[in-house]
Chain A
Amino acid sequence: SQQGEEDPQALSIQEGENATMNCSYKTSINNLQWYRQNSGRGLVHLILIRSNEREKHSGRLRVTLDTSKKSSSLLITASRAADTASYFCATESSGNTPLVFGKGTRLSVIA
């Protein structure tokens, strides 16, 4: 079963704009992770936020986590054409358990 639900399913923006993707989940979590996937193949880990954290930054990425609403957001600032990909959130309910993925957001950044 899939726990995470990303919103929107697809997003198209101009280069330089910011992109915001949201993720909601259903059960309690140990951490939430965001992954990127190009061309339907391997996933690249972007950022992990633990359940006791509210915000993390990594380069142009900013992730927030609201455990009371069971939701997270991924913000990509100053987007580039190379950011075009699918983005997935994944939750880990406890240590060493498999990740539960959402269906992803397809981001298109137009040059």
Chain B
Amino acid sequence: GAGVSQSPSNKVTEKGKDVELRCDPISGHTALYWYRQSLGQGLEFLIYFQGNSAPDKSGLPSDRFSAERTGGSVSTLTIQRTQQEDSAVYLCASRDTSSTDTQYFGPGTRLTVL
């Protein structure tokens, strides 16, 4: 079946602009995670959605970052007033929590803030 998809693949924006990044998880996966990876670094957790529970936002670096998950499926990560330090690859993962501990990752969105 289809894996996790993300769009856009690449996004270049100017400092101060808002951006929206989209994640389509694997159908039926109840858990969805956002991570970001700065150049040459490991992944940093941002936010986690599980079913209808309140999201775990403990990893969001500032109040300029927010995320929604509509209908328990598609998720959008929004970064307001982008800064150059927001430049990174943003990765989304989903998981079927009833059957596996494995998170399946999308290809990521490479965000460049000029």
Interface, chain A (partner B; CB < 8 A): 2, 4, 30-31, 33, 35, 40-45, 48, 88, 90, 92, 95-104
23 chain-A/chain-B pairs, Cβ below 8 angstroms: A4-B42, A33-B101, A33-B103, A35-B105, A40-B37, A40-B39, A40-B110, A41-B89, A42-B91, A43-B43, A43-B91, A45-B104, A90-B43, A96-B31, A96-B95, A98-B33, A98-B56, A99-B103, A101-B43, A103-B40, A103-B41, A103-B42, A104-B42
Give the bracket for the number of chain B residues in contact with chain A.
Answer: 20 to 34
Interface, chain B (partner A; CB < 8 A): 31, 33, 35, 37, 39-45, 48, 50, 56, 59, 89, 91, 93, 95, 97, 101-108, 110
Are A100 and B45 neighbours in the complex by a CB distance under 8 Å? yes
Are B102 and A42 neighbours in the complex by a CB distance under 8 Å? no
Are B42 and A43 neighbours in the complex by a CB distance under 8 Å? no
Compute how far the CA of A99 lies from the CA of B35 in the bound complex, rounded to whole angstroms. 9
Compute how far the CA of A45 lies from the CA of B31 in the bound complex, rounded to whole angstroms. 16
Q: Which residues from A are CB-within-8-Å of B31?
A: 96
